[in-house]
Amino acid sequence: MVDRIEIDATAEVTWGYLVKTWATGTSYVPDPDDKKKKIPVSRLPVPRTLDDLKDQLKLCGIDKLVKIPAAVKGFAVVQYSPQTLALRLPPKAMIEASEARLAKKGAYPARAFMDRMYADPSRKALSTEEKMEIHAARIGDYTITSCI
């Protein structure tokens, strides 16, 4: 069995805002002590070590909601240009573990925020704020998902 990073559904949007902050250099992350303010981008530089990442998770108030497996010792951040095709190959062990898990379970796993995207069509249209939250959650999920 391969341990994976786990992000609690209640932290998906904040995690996504953090990733968007690193990618753009503009802070999207609400201050946990004052939701009307954003954490200054100067306090959220792109992390270079696993400890840097953990410190920022704590600053954002999601350190207890993002579980990084103890087996994880390394850390890398890769950002590329729109002119570069980046092909991330997942670890062989993760593919095999996913295949075994999928063979045992009937349902294909999906993140909770997906329900908001594909909700009942008779539901009112999503607000801009809701769309931005889903956007952040999808970006955050994209950065850490390997082989479901």
- Which tens digit of pLDDT belongs to each residue from 19-73? 999 999 999 999 999 989 999 999 999 999 999 999 999 999 999 999 999 999 9
As a whole number of angstroms, the distance between CA 56 and CA 44 comes to 7
Number of H helices, E strands in the chain: 5, 4
* pLDDT for residue 102 is more than 90: no
pTM for this prediction: 0.84
Q: How confident is the model at residue 89 (pLDDT cuts 50, 70, 90)?
A: confident
Residue 37's φ and ψ, nearest 5 degrees, are: -110, 155
pLDDT number for residue 55: 98
For 120: left if phi > 0, alpha if psi spans -120 to 50, otherwise beta; the answer is beta
d(CA 7, CA 23): 19
Position 147 scores a pLDDT of 59
Q: How many CA atoms lie within 13 A of 59 on its CB side?
A: 17
Among the ranges given (10-14, 27-31, 64-68, 99-103), the one the predictor scored with the smallest mean pLDDT: 99-103
**Tokens linked to 118:** 């594909």
* 142: Cβ contacts below 8 Å, ≥ 6 apart: none
